Amino acid sequence: MAKKKVRKAGMVKRQQSKKHTKAQQRRKFASRRMISNPQAATQKRLEELLSTLPFLAFSERFEDLKFDIQAVKEGLEAETPEPLLLMRLLTEEFLEGFRARFEEFERETTPQSPDNLLAKATIHQLDHSNEIPHLSNPMIVAVYLKTRAEALGEEALTRETIHDALNDYEVRNSELIELISESPSELIYGPEAKIPGSADSGIEEEATTDSDSKEVVRVPPISEEVLADFRESLDWSEEDLSRLDEDLEVFLDDFQPPVYQEWTPDLIDEFINEWFVREANPLEEDLASMRKNMLYFLRYLREKSLLPSCFGDTRPASLEGAA
């Protein structure tokens, strides 16, 4: 008789919830590409262009564009959650000026040139903020991070360092960013800004049925953007992508590894050879799927220089022989 796969109820419940949430988030990330004119260029070209949008914050045209430095400093000193602080900084006056500069940028650039497409994409986002929140516009976040560095007296950000700064921002604010992505039409910007489902001082903790434990807000091990980009890099069937999602959810949400900078080959071996076998009671096909998907995931992270140096050029022992 074939072995029946039995997973713990808590794991199944979390997977179902996370799968729904992440499906929504992937759609938000797709919207976040802010493709304003699909007929003007291929989607791939636009996505490549939009990855350069934060660079404009350091261009001669926009290098003077900043938020009020004192307001940023006071907000940080008051420990205001960064997404909420940024929403308060996005006053009607700022957004009007921001839009005016990009409209001028659009007029002064050659139609369908890279700069012209970036201008169109930004204006498109501003026009559709009920669907694509302002905080998902990488140019706006880059301007905030540029101002933040100055307010804190840190080394000034540059074109070379902005992407790392954006990634760090998303990791440390992932919970609120998730809330924002779920309810863009309910967001209020300016001095009275509030984020649905959160308190001004931070994220509201969910009640737990376990009287011996308290809900702790956990820093995600890796950003949703990295996961979305990894998924988009694969030319796989929907069935294979669905299985990939399930396997990564088990690793990232149920196993709960530390942040990716702290991963080691031993950690991966512990997850696959011990934790996964014990908690998921996998069939051989389940184990093969997990090993394959973890191999592709780690390979992608290595290509993007996101894996710690301890991984080197070799794969963890638990992934030897994985297809």
Q: Distance of alpha carbon 56 from its chain centroid, rounded? A: 20
Structure tokens given for 296: 């592709």
- Residue 37's pLDDT is 45
Q: What is the rounded CA–CA span in Å between residue 38 and residue 52? A: 18
- Which residues in the chain land under pLDDT 50? 1-10, 13-15, 18-33, 35-41, 200-217
Q: Which two structure tokens, joined as six digits, stand for 4? A: 């029946």
Residue 43 is predicted with a pLDDT of: 56
- Residue 70 near residue 89, CB atoms below 8 Å: no
| Closest C-alpha among 130, 175, 159, 137 to residue 21 | 175
Q: What pLDDT shows up at residue 218? A: 58
Q: Which two tokens stand for residue 55?
A: 């660079």
Distance CA 20, CA 7 (A): 19
pLDDT at 70: 96
Q: What pLDDT, on a 0 to 100 scale, did the predictor assign at position 210?
A: 42
Please tell me the distance from the alpha carbon of residue 276 to that of residue 77, in angstroms, as a whole number.
43
Identify which of 84, 89, 194 has the alpha carbon closest to the alpha carbon of residue 140.
89
Beta-carbon neighbour count of residue 29 at 10 Å?
A: 19
Q: Contacts by 76-80 with C-beta closer than 8 Å and gap 24+?
A: 76/148, 76/151, 76/152, 79/201, 80/200
* Distance (Å, whole) CA 196 – CA 21: 16
pTM: 0.54
- Which of helix, strand or coil describes residue 183? coil
pLDDT for residue 42: 54
Q: Given this model, what pLDDT does residue 7 score?
A: 47
Could you state, in order of their start, the residue ranges of all structural domains in the chain?
9-15+218-319, 33-203
